[in-house]
Amino acid sequence: MNIGITVFPTYGGSGIVGSELGRELAERGHNVHFISYALPTRLCRLDERMRFHQVDLFDYPLFEFPPYDLALASKIVEVAGNEKLDVLHMHYAIPHATAGFLAREMYKSTRYLPFVTTLHGTDITLVGSRKSFLPITRFSIAQSDALTAISRYLAGETCRTFGNCAVEVIPNFINAKEYARRENQALRSRLTPNGEKLLIHVSNFRPVKRINDCIHTLARLRERLSARLVMCGDGPEREGAEKLARDYGIADDVIFAGQVPNIADYLSASDLLLMPSDTESFGLAALEAMACETPVIATRAGGLPEVVLDGETGYLVEVGDTQAMAERAVEILSDENKWRRMGARGRAWAVERFNTEIVIPQYEKLYERVIDWAGKNR
């Protein structure tokens, strides 16, 4: 198939999922065309079957806000013609589903180009449900030839907020070969020079991630055992978390690593992942950690209970309960057998439920279905 994929290229998990999906599809012999304003960060190298088409943005003084969605729709139409696209896959409803709809309508006189929209989270729970975006989000997702959500929780929220219950759940996925525990003694020694236990957090440090809770948890945990914390990623909450660590007097034991390219190495070098989010429609970093045999302590929020099995692959606690987070961390980190058991169960669960071998064919089937339907009915 010739597949067009649009993602937000620089920020967030939806871009990662869309990019990794494209790579997996290309490996399975499809031609994948990424259409966006920048090359998605995870795609520093493009394979033979992957192409990138940059949306041209025209910065005209009249436009205080350049209309990206219109430029995107125009680019999609151009790529659809040149590359004979069979299907479009838009990640994140706003404004991508709208651009998919516009492109399909513009191109209709030539050919019907079906588009699939995958909902990722705040496109439904935060942005799309705001008064200013709700009508256009409701319209655009209803126009999609197929609609998927990455968790049952998000499908439920879509049904509740938009009255659109025709949402298929296709979960996020993991390439179990790339995400596997690989001992990297040099990295581990650098992060824990005195043999401490190591906690890890991975995110884009937005308020919803509650990264201060990682610092509170570490401070409480250190009353019981010697531990450090590595914070991977960057974002608006970083400064506040750095200050909090200084206030606790533990700044030397909190490492702000920034964006790291080899995240599987960091996860493998760590003993426990903390995900204290306010809400999370899936929690990709939790899945990546489990695939690397690293147990997870997360909040009982959004779709996280579908990813982290409470008491098996880690623990779930209430949002903001850093005391419980610290207690669970002590429980896991002071019992080597439990730590190993949870790590192994996490890996097995990640592979049996979320492996690319299981999830990617679900997208391939979906594309075939909408292409087939478009061929017969339009």
**Stretch of residues binding ligand GMT (CB under 6 A), selected from 100-108, 119-127, 340-348, 361-369:** 119-127
Residue from the set 34, 115, 162, 282 that interacts with ligand GMT by CB under 6 A: 282
The residue (of 31 and 299) whose beta carbon lies closer to ligand GMT is 299
Question: In whole angstroms, how close is the CB of 306 to ligand GMT at the nearest point?
Answer: 11
**Stretch of residues binding ligand GMT (CB under 6 A), selected from 109-117, 212-220, 282-290, 293-301:** 282-290
141 touches 117 (CB < 8 A):
yes
Residues forming beta bridges with residue 34, ordered by sequence position: 5, 52
- Distances in Å between the alpha carbon of 188 and those of 198, 310, 334, 341, 348? 9, 27, 18, 21, 24
DSSP 61: T
Question: In whole angstroms, how close is the CB of 12 to ligand GMT at the nearest point?
Answer: 3
What six digits make up the tokens of 218? Answer: 């570490």
The reply to whether 150 sits near ligand GMT by the rule CB under 6 A is yes
- One character per residue 175-194, x = contact with ligand GMT (rule: CB under 6 A): --------------------
Residue from the set 13, 114, 276, 343 that interacts with ligand GMT by CB under 6 A: 13
The residue (of 231 and 307) whose beta carbon lies closer to ligand GMT is 307
Residue from the set 20, 157, 237, 280 that interacts with ligand GMT by CB under 6 A: 280
The reply to whether 283 sits near ligand GMT by the rule CB under 6 A is yes
With 0-12 / 13-18 / 19 or more C-beta atoms within 10 angstroms meaning exposed / middle / buried, residue 28 is middle
Compute the distance between CA of residue 179 and CA of residue 84 in angstroms, rounded to an integer.
34
> Which H or E run contains 298?
strand 296-299
What six digits make up the tokens of 88? Answer: 């479009």
296 touches 319 (CB < 8 A):
no
Please state at what angle helix 212-221 crosses helix 322-333, rounded to 10 degrees.
50
Residue from the set 129, 137, 172, 268 that interacts with ligand GMT by CB under 6 A: 172
Residue from the set 95, 100, 121, 314 that interacts with ligand GMT by CB under 6 A: 121
Question: In whole angstroms, how close is the CB of 253 to ligand GMT at the nearest point?
Answer: 28
Question: In whole angstroms, how close is the CB of 279 to ligand GMT at the nearest point?
Answer: 6
**Stretch of residues binding ligand GMT (CB under 6 A), selected from 194-202, 245-253, 259-267, 279-287:** 279-287
Residues within window 313-342 making contact with ligand GMT, judged by CB under 6 A? none
**Stretch of residues binding ligand GMT (CB under 6 A), selected from 114-122, 140-148, 229-237, 368-376:** 114-122
At residue 8, φ and ψ (nearest 5 deg) are -80, 120
> Residues near 68 by Cβ (< 8 Å), separated by ≥ 6?
37, 55, 57, 95
Residues within window 199-258 making contact with ligand GMT, judged by CB under 6 A? 208
Compute the distance between CA of residue 128 and CA of residue 121 in angstroms, rounded to an integer.
9
What six digits make up the tokens of 323? Answer: 């005391």
The residue (of 184 and 235) whose beta carbon lies closer to ligand GMT is 235
Collapsed DSSP state (helix, strand, coil) of residue 204: coil
Please state at what angle helix 152-162 crosses helix 134-143, rounded to 10 degrees.
120
Question: In whole angstroms, how close is the CB of 233 to ligand GMT at the nearest point?
Answer: 11
Q: Please, what is the end-to-end C-alpha distance for the chain in angstroms?
A: 19
Residues within window 16-35 making contact with ligand GMT, judged by CB under 6 A? 17
**Stretch of residues binding ligand GMT (CB under 6 A), selected from 25-33, 37-45, 265-273, 274-282:** 274-282
What six digits make up the tokens of 147? Answer: 């609609």
Strands 31-36 and 115-119: unpaired
The residue (of 123 and 253) whose beta carbon lies closer to ligand GMT is 123
Size of the site for ligand GMT (CB under 6 A): 17
Collapsed DSSP state (helix, strand, coil) of residue 177: coil
For binding to ligand GMT (CB under 6 A), which residues are involved? Answer: 12-15, 17, 120-122, 150, 172, 208, 279-284
